Amino acid sequence: MKTLTFSITISAPKETVWAALWQEDSFRVWANFIDEGTYIKGGLQAGNEVQFLSAVNGYGVTSLVEKLRQNELLVLRHRADTKESGQRKRKNEWTGGLERYTLTENLGITTLLVEMDTPEELETVFQQRFPQALACIKKLAEQNESD
């Protein structure tokens, strides 16, 4: 796996950006750029296992919420690759990888930094799709801030 790093500056406080990232409705909007129909099953709490699943193809990953500091940091450790909406294991692509979301704020401007271990065969796909997802997160957060 290779670690990819992405970042974006958003004109909104970190609480608004965090909500855009992890509230169910907004998560489904931006995650759709990564893998169509992606949703979260389980609660984002430190020590919990959660699943990131595609409603379209049934593939996903089961991850441990390794660290969570509300509005600041989420670290996921991918434990198992799945299929059939998380019911069966499949070939390990993501297993063992880390995914980290870090938010830092200065004067109401938030920088979102995402670091993710990515299977080599998906590196190009993520380099194309993740910037689109970040642009969507920015739009969602800034739109919520202006409402």
The full set of domains in the chain, from first to last, is 2-146 (3.30.530.20)
Residue 93 has pLDDT above 90, yes or no: no
Residues 21, 137 contacting (CB under 8 angstroms):
yes
At 147, the pLDDT band (50, 70, 90 cuts) reads low
Query: Tens digit of pLDDT for each residue in 106-133?
Result: 999 999 999 999 988 889 999 999 999 9
**Structure confidence at residue 38 (pLDDT):** 92
The dihedral built from the CA positions of residue 133, 138, 144 and 147, taken in this order, carries a sign that is: negative
At 50, the pLDDT band (50, 70, 90 cuts) reads very high
Q: What is the DSSP letter of 44?
A: -
The dihedral built from the CA positions of residue 87, 74, 100 and 137, taken in this order, carries a sign that is: positive
At 86, the pLDDT band (50, 70, 90 cuts) reads low
Which positions ≥6 away from 25 have C-beta within 8 Å? none
pTM over 0.85: yes
CA distance readout (Å), 124 to 14, 62, 106, 119, 120: 29, 23, 32, 10, 8
Residues 122, 34 contacting (CB under 8 angstroms):
no
Rounded CA-CA distance 124/119 in Å is 10
